A and B are shown apart, each in its own frame.
Chain A
Amino acid sequence: AQKITQTQPGMFVQEKEAVTLDCTYDTSDPSYGLFWYKQPSSGEMIFLIYQGSYDQQNATEGRYSLNFQKARKSANLVISASQLGDSAMYFCAMRGLRNTPLVFGKGTRLSVIA
C-alpha cells in the first residue's frame, strides 16, 4: 500500500519569496508516480506537477519544481517567487503499480503574505 505524509499543516511565506512544501512517501512498488495538486478556496483541485520514479531529472512547471530525492523517499514542492494567488491548500499524492488509485496526503495550507 502507498502512504503519503505531509507534516506541515500550515505555512506562511512572504510575497516574492520561495517556499518548500514537504512530502514524504512510502511504497513497495518499484515504479510509481508522484503528483502535486493545488486547491484554492473555490474548492476545485488543480493539477500542478508530476514526477515519475524513474525520471532522471526533477520535474519543473513554470514557478513549480519538484525536489525529488528517491533514496529519502521525498518529493517536496518548491514554489518560486510566491504570489498572493498561491494561497491555497496543497496536496501531495502518489500512484503505484497494479492500477491503484491516487493516494493523497493530508495537505498543507499555504498563506502568502503581502
Chain B
Amino acid sequence: DVKVTQSSRYLVKRTGEKVFLECVQDMDHENMFWYRQDPGLGLRLIYFSYDVKMKEKGDIPEGYSVSREKKERFSLILESASTNQTSMYLCASSQGTGENEKLFFGSGTQLSVL
C-alpha cells in the first residue's frame, strides 16, 4: 500500500514564525500536492509538483512556498505564519497525471497559528 506520511498531526506556531510542513511518500510517485482544508471551503490546492525540483502554483499560493529536492519528499513552507493560515493541511501523491489517476493522501496536519 502507498503510504504518505506527514511529519506532524498537530502543530501550534506563533505569528511570524517560519513553518515547515513535511510530507514523504514511499511509492516512488512522480507527483505530489499540497491542499488546505477549511470548513465550508473544501480542499483548495496550494502548490503541486510533477517532478523533482519542479513546482507549480495552485489556486491559493500566496504566503506559501514549497521545496522538492528529492522525489519522495515535498515540503510546504510558511515564510511568516499568519493567523489566517490556521487550517488543516493535506499532502497527497499520485503516480501519473491521467484522468483516472487517484490521489493518495496523508493524515493531515492541523496547524494553529496564534
Contact = CB atoms under 8 A, between A and B. Distances in A.
The number of chain B residues touching the other chain, given as a range, is 20 to 34
Interface stretch (B16-24, B42-50, B65-73, B79-87): B42-50
Interface residues of A, number: 28
The SS class assigned to the A binding surface is loop
Interface in A90-104: 91, 93, 95-97, 99, 101-104
Interface string A54-94: 00000000000000000000000000000000000001010
A50 B50 CA distance: 22
A97 B99 CA distance: 7
B78 to A, nearest CB: 19
A14 interface: no
Nearest to A100: B97
B110 to A, nearest CB: 8
B13 to A, nearest CB: 19
B103 A106 contact: no
A32 B102 contact: no
A19 to B, nearest CB: 20
Contacts of B90: 45
Given A45-B92, A95-B101, A106 B106 contact: no
Interface of B: 9, 33, 35, 40-45, 48, 50, 58, 88, 90, 92, 97-108, 110
Interface of A: 6, 9, 31-33, 35, 37, 42-45, 47, 50, 52-53, 91, 93, 95-97, 99, 101-107
22 contacts: A31-B99, A32-B99, A33-B98, A33-B100, A33-B101, A37-B105, A43-B110, A44-B105, A44-B108, A47-B102, A50-B100, A50-B102, A52-B99, A52-B100, A102-B103, A103-B45, A104-B35, A104-B42, A104-B43, A104-B44, A106-B40, A106-B42
